[in-house]
Amino acid sequence: MALNGAAISATPISVRFWGVRGSVSCPGPSTANYGGNTSCVEIRCGQHILIFDAGTGIRPLGNALVKLSPSTDFDVFLSHCHIDHLGGLPFFAPLFTSNQVVRVWAGNLQPVCGIEDAVRKLMSFPHFPIQLESLKAKVEFRDFRAGETIHPRPGVTLRTAPLKHPGGATGYRIEYGNQSVAYLTDIEIGDGPIDPPLLELAKDAALIILDATYTDEELPAHIGWGHSSWQQGVRLANAAGAGRLCLFHHSPEHDDTTMDSIKTAADAARPGTMVASEGMQIEI
Residues that bind Zn ion (CB under 5 A): 22, 82, 84, 186
DSSP state of 192: S
User: 3-class DSSP state for residue 101?
Assistant: strand
Least CB distance from residue 268 to Zn ion, whole Å? Answer: 27
- Of all residues in the shown chain, the one whose CB is closest to Zn ion is 82
Least CB distance from residue 225 to Zn ion, whole Å? Answer: 9
Least CB distance from residue 83 to Zn ion, whole Å? Answer: 8
Least CB distance from residue 227 to Zn ion, whole Å? Answer: 8
Would you say 53 or 75 has its CB closer to Zn ion? 53
Q: What is d(CA 152, CA 102) in angstroms, rounded to the nearest whole number?
A: 12
Would you say 44 or 250 has its CB closer to Zn ion? 250
Among 8, 13, 25, 11, which Cα is nearest to 253's? 25
Least CB distance from residue 240 to Zn ion, whole Å? Answer: 22
Would you say 163 or 240 has its CB closer to Zn ion? 163
Crossing angle of the two packed helices 256-269 and 230-240, in degrees rounded to 10: 30
Buried/exposed code over 19-39 (b: 16+ C-beta within 10 A; e: otherwise): bbbbbebbeeeebeebbbbbb
Among 125, 174, 167, 121, which Cα is nearest to 152's? 174
Would you say 40 or 137 has its CB closer to Zn ion? 40
Q: What is d(CA 204, CA 244) in angstroms, rounded to the nearest whole number?
A: 10
Would you say 84 or 175 has its CB closer to Zn ion? 84
Least CB distance from residue 148 to Zn ion, whole Å? Answer: 21
DSSP H or E stretch at residue 236:
helix 230-240
Least CB distance from residue 166 to Zn ion, whole Å? Answer: 7
Would you say 81 or 156 has its CB closer to Zn ion? 81
How close are the terminal C-alpha atoms of the chain, in Å?
Answer: 5
The long-range contacts involving 113-117, CB below 8 angstroms and separated by at least 24 positions, are 114/141, 114/143, 115/78, 115/81, 115/141, 115/142, 115/143, 116/141
Least CB distance from residue 18 to Zn ion, whole Å? Answer: 15
Q: Which amino acid is at 10?
A: A
Would you say 84 or 255 has its CB closer to Zn ion? 84
Per-residue 3-state assignment (H helix, E strand, C coil) for 105-136: EECCCCCCCCHHHHHHHHCCCCCCCCCHHHCC
Dihedral sign from CA coordinates of 77, 81, 82, 83 = positive
